[in-house]
Amino acid sequence: MLLIAGLGNPGAKYAGNRHNIGFMAVDRFASKHGFGPWRTRFQGEIAEGTLPTEDGVKVKALLLKPQTFMNNSGHSVGEAMRFHKITPANTIIFYDEIDLAPGRFRMKTGGGAAGHNGIRSIIAQADANVRRARMGVGHPGDKELVHAHVLSDFAKADQPWLNALIDACAEALPMLLANNDDKYQNEVMRLAPAPKSDPRKPPTDKEES
């Protein structure tokens, strides 16, 4: 079984926040791939279903949206991993990454939390070696502004790249089943190209994609 968790904060107040891009992603995964209804378990909301491999074989998958608030995401993820005996290699976490420009996407396995409290909690309460799907939301340019940045809603101007990125992550999802994160990353960026730019500065048309 594959565990795919999206990070965010519960409640309507936070629904449109940059910090909730992980929730947005797994919601799209559920609708696109026909997962069952959301229900409460593992201190979160879960949806069960299957994903096809590139060869068409169906693999069981569990989608998870921790309802513990971002800073305690690891409690929910760890509980689901332990109950289903899911390894870190079969656990993928989708979350917001301020050190990537808006719309950029990178896969990573292991390492530190880089200041992300949700990942810090997962390292402490679940496992440091889960696979990480980092969804770029840009940096406000000053570390004092980071908290307000991630807890602010995406702007109207962000919607085209945001929807393209989430759609691409959903479309390419079967590639994750082969544990080929580089291939998945490349396919996401092929489907939703975004400019390479300094995450602390707004992208311009002159920057390379």
Query: Average pLDDT in the 27-53 region?
Result: 96
For the chain, what is the mean pLDDT?
A: 93
Give the DSSP H or E segment for 79.
Answer: helix 73-84
Rounded Cα gap, residues 163 and 171, in angstroms: 12
For 16-62, give the DSSP string: TBGGGHHHHHHHHHHHHTT----EEETTEEEEEEEEE-TTS-EEEEE
Range of weakest confidence among 10-19, 46-55, 60-69, 131-140? 46-55
Q: Which residues are catalytic?
A: 19
pLDDT digits (tens, 9 = 90+) for 148-187: 999 999 999 999 999 999 999 999 998 888 788 999 999 9
pLDDT digits (tens, 9 = 90+) for 95-151: 999 999 999 999 999 999 999 999 999 999 999 999 999 999 999 999 999 999 999
- Is the pLDDT at 205 greater than 60? The verdict is no
For the full predicted model, state whether its pTM sits above 0.85: yes
- Is the pLDDT at 206 greater than 50? The verdict is no
Contact call for residues 117 and 70 (beta carbons, < 8 A): yes
Taking alpha carbons only, the member of 112, 136, 139, 135 closest to residue 123 is 112
Per-domain residue ranges for the chain? 2-191
Rounded Cα gap, residues 146 and 176, in angstroms: 30
In this prediction, residue 197 carries a pLDDT of 81
Rounded Cα gap, residues 78 and 121, in angstroms: 10
Q: What architecture is domain 2-191?
A: 3-Layer(aba) Sandwich (3.40)
Query: Average pLDDT in the 76-93 region?
Result: 97
- Is the pLDDT at 71 greater than 90? The verdict is yes
Query: Average pLDDT in the 28-46 region?
Result: 97
The proportion of the chain whose per-residue pLDDT surpasses 90, expressed as a percent, equals 85
Q: How far is CA 18 from the centre of its chain?
A: 11
Q: What is the DSSP letter of 82?
A: H
Taking alpha carbons only, the member of 4, 1, 11 closest to residue 151 is 11
Which tokens in the block code for residue 18?
A: 């940059």
In this prediction, residue 202 carries a pLDDT of 58
Q: How many CB atoms lie within 10 A of CB 192?
A: 22
Phi, psi (deg, nearest 5) at residue 101: -60, 155
